[in-house]
A and B are shown apart, each in its own frame.
Chain A
Amino acid sequence: MREDHFRFRSRMRALTDGAVTVLAILATVVVVTPLVAIFAYLVIKGARSLNLSFFTQIPKPEGESGGGMANAIVGSGILLAVASVLGIPIGIGGGIFLAEFGRGTKLANVVRFTADVLNGVPSIVMGLAIYALIVFPKGTFFPFMGHFSALSGGVALGIMMIPTVCRTTEEMLLMVPHAVREAALGLGVPNWRSVLSITVRTASPGIITGCMLAFARVAGETAPLLFTALGNPFMSTSLNQPIEALPLQIYVFANGPYEDQHRLAWAGSLVLIALIVLAVSLVRWVTSRGVLKGAS
């Protein structure tokens, strides 16, 4: 009787074990399915509507077929350039401070916490804040502004890059062995030169990785541009004027009533995702090699 009970118990345990294994595999399949579906949709729908005029023409008036997103591609380029110019130096500087100067100090902890807070700010709220800071109040900080502009959009994206760049830079610098710094200082190299041309240089592949991750992240952001860059159906390169961006254009076209606009939206998404996948793969390739193994 007892033996039967034990046999039953052990069979039940084996069954539970098998059931959990099946469930875990099932969960994995369920997770992979939407990813495959998204990529399949993008490639099939996007490739079908991707042609040369997508890259060379601006959108046609509503309802007309044809046209492209040349203005959005140029606009995204300009916005991302402004964002990088603003976000990358401040981010790297903050990271250098955290790793080289502020290690263990209270100020460093506050800065680190603030960077994490900034990282968690929803992108739509970032749009609101930049609207309130730069776009709306003519004359407070930016007397020449007071309207939607490429500059404000770039600033919003740049601020969103800072926390990622800052924290990766810090992590990468912390991985540089102390002996390297000591060797430089021992040779009488001033501290700032040792930091810039020894420590930062050693960690530079990792720092570049962080910058590219931040870049890939803001490249697809739409919400912070809604009330800063606003969008512009014409080709524009002025920082002082509203400008189009790829994600903004996709949003507008996806909500539009015309089949042709949906087609362009899919093509735009394919271009955007190709850019991001390229960046992420490059990052993975760089980090999987040599010194930075496991650093990503």
Chain B
Amino acid sequence: MRQFLLARGNSAFADRGFHWLMVLCAMSIFVIVALIVWQLVLRSQLTWEKFGIAFFYQSFANPETHLPMYWDPVNARFSALPFIYGTLVSSFLALLIAVPLAVGLAIFLTEMCPGFLRGPLAFFSELLAAIPSIIYGLWAMYALVPVLREYVDPPLIHWLGWTGLFNDENPTGLGYFAAGVILSVMILPIISSLTREVMSAVPNSQREAALALGATRWEMIRVGVLRNARVGIVGGIILGLGRALGETMAVTMVIGNTPEIHRSLFSNGTSMAAVIANEFTEAVNNVHLSALIEIGLALFIVTIIVNAVAQLLVWAVTRGTASQAH
């Protein structure tokens, strides 16, 4: 080491070389993203020329049943509508379940939890984030779906069947609902760890002020902590949404993979990521292939926008409170 440090050499040249090597590494990140975008745009050209923007909302009449159909690889007619619908329904369902739980967990961990529990619980939720989605999928398929089929779906159909959202003669356990539930488990740790981060960034003086005014603990959390952290919490929720939108394996394994649109959450459906995973290697013609790539491109654009918004929000709140704390 010492010799390396003191060795003589043409250091101006080496310095410049090293500098440019590092710039090259940094630029390659830029180049990779550019290549991804270029390829996705290029390879989805065929579908774009054929259907234009209508690709995202059109439907076709089935010549026999006269019902709307969306995905007809044999006749090379495609529409992304059922996939967009499935992605949106399962993701929002996931948010609906995960957000209250994640915020509750964050409140418990930052404001109520006895010290000896905080470390293990935080580690637990970190582990939850590290489990690969294929394992969530396996678990959902063989443990969650049977439980939903036996114990959750029937009472929901019985009590809430009149809404039309929970309607199925013979629930299989698969479908939008199962996808939403497993997605909620997967995005929970993301939302809760970010919520925890922004809640810890709220300066203690806020809590003390609220308590000094005679607030109960909940009032202190509501007025002193949540109100200050809300922008960051929204950022965390949107980041969780970004993850849910692009999630592939777990959703593919439980959503049922049928390119149809149903109102009932217990029906089989499919999502944008799921259809790509399922059909890409078996695409029957070039239009089919390019339709799948266009769905991928749409997914890419949406997740980028969602992630950028989330990052801006989180950045805004953590930066603001950090300067307040000084």
Contact = CB atoms under 8 A, between A and B. Distances in A.
Interface of A: 13-14, 16-17, 20-21, 23-28, 30-32, 34-35, 37-38, 41-42, 89-94, 96-98, 100-102, 107-108, 110-111, 114-129, 131-133, 159, 162-163, 166, 184, 189-193, 195-197, 216-217, 219-223, 226-227, 230, 247, 250-251, 254-255, 262, 265-266, 269, 272-273, 276-277, 280, 284
Given A93-B26, A124-B248, A226 B281 contact: yes
Interface centre among B135, B219, B249 (most CB of A within 10 A): B135
5 contacts: A34-B185, A35-B128, A107-B26, A124-B273, A226-B280
Contact of A190 (B15, B276, B297): B15
A108 B4 CA distance: 29
B142 to A, nearest CB: 7
Given A89-B25, A117-B304, A192-B19, A222 B132 contact: yes
Interface in B36-60: 36, 39-40, 42-43
Contact of A273 (B24, B135, B306): B135
Nearest to B21: A93
Contacts of A117: 33, 304, 307-308
B167 to A, nearest CB: 26
Given A38-B139, A100-B22, A128 B296 contact: yes
Interface stretch (B64-72, B73-81, B102-110): B102-110
B172 interface: no
Contact of B138 (A24, A107, A269): A269
A122 B112 contact: no
Given A27-B101, A93-B25, A124 B30 contact: no
B296 to A, nearest CB: 4
A132 B132 contact: no
B55 to A, nearest CB: 16
Contact of B11 (A25, A120, A190): A190
Contacts, number: 271
For A28, A92, A133, A255, which residue has the most chain B Cβ atoms within 10 angstroms? A28
A265 B26 contact: no
A116 B30 contact: no
Interface string B82-102: 000000000000000000111
B210 interface: no
A184 B101 CA distance: 50
B216 A38 contact: no
Interface residues on B, range: 35 or more
Given A23-B104, A280-B127, A129 B24 contact: no
B132 A272 contact: yes
B39 A129 contact: yes
B303 A121 contact: yes
Given A17-B219, A223-B277, A269-B134, A32 B36 contact: no
Nearest to B302: A122
Given A20-B221, A31-B105, A125-B246, 15 more contacts: A20-B217, A25-B112, A31-B192, A35-B124, A102-B26, A116-B311, A120-B246, A128-B292, A131-B280, A196-B18, A221-B132, A247-B132, A251-B249, A272-B135, A277-B127
B176 interface: no
Given A35-B128, A197-B1, A118 B32 contact: yes
Given A93-B22, A227-B280, A123 B130 contact: no
B91 to A, nearest CB: 12
B217 A41 contact: no
B131 A220 contact: yes
B257 to A, nearest CB: 10
A234 B132 CA distance: 24
B303 A120 contact: yes
Nearest to B16: A192
B4 A193 contact: yes
Contacts of B126: 280, 284
